[in-house]
Structure formats: C-alpha cells, structure tokens
Amino acid sequence: MRTPICKECAFAEKLCAQCSKKLADGEITSLDVEISKILYKINENYNISSSDFLKAYELEGIVIIESSTPGFLIGKRGKIISLISSALQKKVRIIRPSQNIKEKISDIVAPIKLIGINTYFKEGKEMAKVILEKKPGQNLYVEEQKLKKILTKWLKRDTEIIYQ
C-alpha cells in the first residue's frame, strides 16, 4: 500500500524524521497522516495492500481522498469507504487524481453525469454553470449547497448548478 507516510509511522506514536519533515514542509497534512493510519489499520482486516492514497483535503465538511486505485478504497459494496467515513466521522468521497477539473467534478457528482461546464458573464462578473444530467431516483452525494461551494472553490468563480 502506498500512502504519504511510511508503514512504521502508521503504527507509531510519533512520525519518523522523514515523515515529520514532509509534514513540517507542508508536503503532507495532518489529515493525510490520519487517513494513512486509518488505511493501515483497515489493511489488517481487509486486503487493500494494492491500493494507494495520494492526498486528502476537506471541503465543506466532506473529506475528499485522491487515489489512482479508487475501487480498492471504496471496497465491495462500499465497505472500505464506510470504514474510513466511520473512523473520521465525516462524509468521504474518493476521486482519481487529475489536472482536468471536469474529471474531478465528474467523480464528485457521480453517479450523476456531468454534461458540461459553461462560462458566462453576469453583471460584469465571470460565472460558471455546471450542467448535470439527473435521472429520476438519482441523488447527489452531498447537499447541493455544499457542492456549489466546493465547485466555486475548484473553479475559482461563482458557480450555478443546472439539471437537464
């Protein structure tokens, strides 16, 4: 399993010199350390050793975890993600790392399909319109207001959510 901290630090009270330096330099956060420790503990009972965890951040009370192997961290029937969520006592969303903002937004709104992102101007201000395809019975993972705030931070402009 690949995490921001080494395996020894996951089970130790204090971080080793190398992991402490990463934390002090801002390469990793205390949230990254906490999630790494949780994942190593989960790995003792569930085999997620082929998984990787790259980065985590918290936006609007939701912990977003970047992993290039999201299936392992979600687990069968969502077992692993529910264990992570339970340990953190927060909602957790796992996304693939990407420089492409559309891919990140697609992961965060799944299972709802992202149709597109449009830019428009309103009262001289640049705005973003995120268009989602919502079918009957599909629900957003997060409340729409929280999603709107997350998208505003990611897109760096006020955002409107439209359903088609």
The total of structural domains in the chain comes to 2
Structural element, H or E, at residue 84: helix 79-88
pLDDT value, residue 127: 92
- Written as six digits, the tokens of 110 are 């799944």
Tell me what pLDDT residue 136 has: 83
Question: What percent of the chain has pLDDT above 70?
Answer: 100
Residues 78 and 105 occupy one common structural domain = no
| DSSP character at residue 2 | B
Out of 76, 95, 114, pick the residue that ends a domain: 95
Summary mean pLDDT of the chain? 91
Beta strands in the chain (DSSP E): 55-59, 62-66, 91-95, 113-122, 125-133, 158-163
Provide the pairing of β-strand 113-122 with 125-133. antiparallel
The pair of three-digit structure tokens given for residue 32, joined into one six-digit string: 């990254």
Please compute Rg for the chain using Cα positions.
18
Give 56: exposed, middle or buried? Use CB within 10 Å, 0-12, 13-18, 19+: buried
pLDDT, mean of residues 78-84: 95
Domain boundary among 71, 95, 119: 95
Assigned domain for 2 exists:
no
The domain boundary, picked from 73, 95, 117, lies at 95
Rounded Cα–Cα distance for residues 8 and 4 (Å): 12
pLDDT at residue 142 is higher than 90: no
